Amino acid sequence: MRPRRAMLFMPGDSERKIAKACTLQVDSIIMDLEDGVAWSQKQNARETVRRALQTFDFGERERVVRINPEGSGLEEDDLEAVLPGQPDAIALPKVETPAQLIWLDDALTRWETRQEAEVGSIAILAIVETALGIVNLREIAQASRRLQALLFGAEDLVGDIGGVRTAEGREVFYARSKLVTTAAAFRLQAIDQVFTDLHDLEGLERECRQAVQMGYQGKMAIHPRQVPVIQAAFSPTPAQIEAARRLIDAYRQYQARGSGVFTLDGKMVDAPMIRAAEQILARARQQNVPHPEHENGDGRE
């Protein structure tokens, strides 16, 4: 599965902004046909996104389109317009039930079949941002084999539950925790909420650190200036990679001697710590982060 550290939203009706995103060091570009586009500009946005998909050089960046919600009356026209550009993924907002993802999966399959394209080549990303969606997370996570990530929409959720948005985020902590836990249970990526204060990069960094601690693999961005902070926060540091490599090497040496639990740098090491170290090295490989591992690139002798 590709890395999705920073996922940058760009309004679908702005060719200039989409072109700007293609110059950034960002994992994913989400071209938006939903909230970022006025009702009067929906058709213009569809045409702009299709043109961008067909003509822009995105490099290694993932090309995602956020369509309008299933049931909005706009979603089928969205797909018809943008699928000829062969996006890498479709982000579906306001996901509340498995049926919505099944509808999208079926629509993508029909299109791929007509085009004689590989069935399943277009991924699905589910944005969960309502109370019902949080309640149904288990079922949503199992709805489609195309589903690769759950994205947490905190702002809409707070409005849906009648809460008050705070900097501390206590009002969404339960939902935020449930989403990342459910994603892990079903081997999906968990992508964290947007940070709405565009000028508070220190606050963004703090929230990113918290998301990493919770188990999130990435975060949605709403402005280019947020991208470097997010990309860095969700990338293992050289020090973390080196520590993980040393831990794995020591573990293998002790295993060869018949020892299970051992100490390293004055700390007891057991199986959970080994799994955490393996995850750091796996993320480094996935993200092509330079690190001082052995020549075969996986930490083995």
> Could you tell me the two tokens for 174?
């339960």
> Could you tell me the two tokens for 8?
């940058």
Q: Are residues 166 and 197 in the same domain?
A: yes
- The verdict on residue 295 lying in a domain is no
Q: Are residues 101 and 226 in the same domain?
A: yes
- Three-state secondary-structure class, residue 234: coil
Q: Are residues 205 and 167 in the same domain?
A: yes
- The verdict on residue 297 lying in a domain is no
Q: Are residues 103 and 33 in the same domain?
A: yes
pLDDT for the residue numbered 160 = 97
Is residue 270 annotated as part of the catalytic site, yes or no? Answer: yes
Q: Are residues 208 and 244 in the same domain?
A: no
Q: Are residues 163 and 248 in the same domain?
A: no
Q: Are residues 244 and 172 in the same domain?
A: no
Q: Are residues 191 and 260 in the same domain?
A: no
User: Are the C-beta atoms of residues 15 and 48 closer than 8 Å to each other?
Assistant: yes
Final residue before a domain boundary, out of 218, 233, 248: 233
Q: Are residues 19 and 146 in the same domain?
A: yes
Angle at 228 between CA 202 and CA 157, to 5 degrees: 65
Cα separation, 90 vs 104, whole angstroms: 9
Cα dihedral 192, 196, 198, 204, rounded to 10, equals -40
The catalytic residue among 106, 197, 270, 298 is: 270
Cα separation, 296 vs 114, whole angstroms: 42
For residue 267, give the DSSP letter.
E
Q: Which CATH number characterizes residue 51's domain?
A: 3.20.20.60
- The verdict on residue 91 lying in a domain is yes
- The verdict on residue 56 lying in a domain is yes
pLDDT for the residue numbered 286 = 73
Cα separation, 216 vs 190, whole angstroms: 5
Q: Are residues 99 and 202 in the same domain?
A: yes
Number of structural domains (the chain) is 2
pLDDT for the residue numbered 291 = 53
Instruction: Identify any residues that bridge with 262 across adjacent strands, giving them in sequence order.
Output: 269
Strands 262-264 and 218-221, by their bridges, are unpaired
- The verdict on residue 293 lying in a domain is no
- The verdict on residue 277 lying in a domain is yes
Q: Are residues 220 and 259 in the same domain?
A: no
- The verdict on residue 298 lying in a domain is no
Range of the domain at 194: 6-233
pTM: 0.86
Look up residue 201 and give its amino acid.
L
Q: Are residues 126 and 100 in the same domain?
A: yes
- The verdict on residue 296 lying in a domain is no
Residue 141, Cβ neighbours under 10 Å: how many?
22
Per-residue model confidence as pLDDT tens for the chain (301 residues): 899 999 999 999 999 999 999 999 999 999 999 999 999 999 999 999 999 999 999 999 999 999 999 999 999 999 999 999 999 999 999 999 999 999 999 999 999 999 999 999 999 999 999 999 999 999 999 999 999 999 999 999 999 999 999 999 999 999 999 999 999 999 999 999 999 999 999 999 999 999 999 999 999 999 999 999 999 999 887 777 776 687 677 778 767 777 667 777 777 776 777 777 777 777 777 777 665 544 344 433 3
For residue 27, give the DSSP letter.
S
